[in-house]
């Protein structure tokens, strides 16, 4: 099954959201703890929601992000970290017409990222990391 499809299923099946009201350095530490291993939150970016999904078909984490960075800057940041973590990446267009970066490691861990600019607010992005069972 393709990473985009599996992680799309994971994204639609989550039922738990983690959030924090911490501020300053404490908020950054909490946010970094919610990031999948090998990934960091770029400056100007915050986690809007973090959902852990564990279903019969697979398990993973889906993050929704808001950022002051452009879609290109966010994509570059997360693609660079994904490559460093061993993901073989491909780029394409998702069902909503947005650029999407997806990949998989040799041991089956999957990565998916897409971002969209909003006319009056922050750049919105989603990132998912998980694996099939």
Among 75, 68, 72, 62, smallest CA distance to 123 is for 68
- Does residue 6 have a pLDDT over 60? no
H or E, element range at 73: helix 71-84
pTM of the model: 0.76
Among 130, 101, 102, 122, smallest CA distance to 42 is for 122
Higher-scoring residue by pLDDT: 121, 31: 121
Rounded CA-CA distance 7/57 in Å is 10
| Model confidence pLDDT, tens digit, residues 59-90 | 999 999 999 999 999 999 999 999 999 999 99
Position 31 scores a pLDDT of: 58
Domain segments of the chain: what residues?
3-132
CB hemisphere CA count around 60 (13 angstroms): 26
């Amino acid at each position: 099954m393709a990473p985009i499809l599996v992680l799309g299923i994971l994204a639609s099946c989550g039922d738990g959201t983690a959030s924090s009201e911490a501020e300053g350095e404490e908020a950054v530490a909490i946010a970094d703890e919610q990031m999948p291993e090998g990934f960091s939150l770029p400056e100007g970016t915050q986690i809007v929601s973090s959902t852990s999904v564990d279903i019969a078909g697979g398990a993973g984490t889906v993050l929704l992000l808001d950022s002051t960075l452009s879609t290109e800057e966010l994509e570059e940041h997360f693609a660079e970290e994904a490559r460093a973590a061993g993901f073989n990446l491909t780029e394409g267009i998702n069902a909503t017409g947005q650029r999407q970066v997806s990949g998989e490691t040799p041991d089956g861990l999957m990565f998916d990222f897409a971002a969209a600019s909003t006319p009056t607010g922050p750049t919105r992005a989603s990132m998912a990391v998980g694996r099939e069972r």
